[in-house]
Amino acid sequence: MPLGIIGGRIYHVVTDPELYFAAGQNPWNALAIWKGGLGIWGAVVLGGLGAWIACRRLGLSFALVADAVAPGLVFAQGIGRLGNWFNNELYGGPTSLPWGLVVHQLDPATGHAIGTLPGTYHPTFLYELLWDVGVGFLVIWADKRFKLGRGQAFALYVMAYTVGRFWVEALRTDHVNHFLGIRLNDFTSVVVFVAALAYFLWKRERPKVVEEA
């Protein structure tokens, strides 16, 4: 968990450096994690490293543990998206759909609501929450149906999550840096999806062995 938090913060700072290192900004605020700012990609990478270290120390199969935690991990990501509603953030563009979200207009100085924005907006964090729940059940079903193993269930979670994150990210209107003309998180989603797919197919071609905890 500590490595996951650190990784999430590092990803946020690296992908939004202007918030901390541009003229007039205080670089020390990069350490002020209590003010918000975490990136799921960094959390998964360094959190995964922490899990790998723990598995090595305990003599457990890292792939087996990764498969076991995959559904719970994506369910937790969905629950975490509720924080975006409480924080009045990460919503999408205007919409007339019946589930459109009323967004509060905040006073930058106090952080208190001073009214609402006109119209209603896509609750993109809700879309991701529902997608995450679906991914969790997909991984559980596929693992039982096809007897996945050797990290394949975790790879399936990564692939399915990145697909959802790609289209949800496209609906969001919050500030984000771009790379090669697309939102940075969309670019990361594509790269991570390809890596997870390659791992999934590589493991599928290899003969299965009995894994022991």
H/E element, 104: strand 104-106
What are the beta bridge partners of residue 113?
A: 106
Give the count of alpha carbons within 13 A of 50, CB side only. Answer: 13
Q: Closest Cα partner for 174 from 183, 182, 165, 166?
A: 183
> Confidence band (pLDDT; 50, 70, 90) for 213?
very low
Listed by start position, the domains of the chain span: 1-59, 60-213
Q: Is 158 exposed, middle or buried (0-12, 13-18, 19+ CB in 10 A)?
A: buried
Residue 178's φ and ψ, nearest 5 degrees, are -115, 150
Q: Does pTM top 0.95 for this prediction? A: no
Q: Which amino acid is at 11?
A: Y
Find the length of the chain: 213
Tokens of 169: 């990210």
Assigned token pair, 188: 């990361």
pLDDT at 209 over 60: no
Burial 184-213 (b: 16+ CB within 10 A, else e): bbbbbbeebbeebeebbeebeeeeeeeeee
What digits encode the pLDDT tens for the residues 104-128? 998 877 878 889 999 999 999 999 9
Maximum separation of any 2 CA atoms in the chain, in Å: 62
State residue 202's pLDDT score.
92
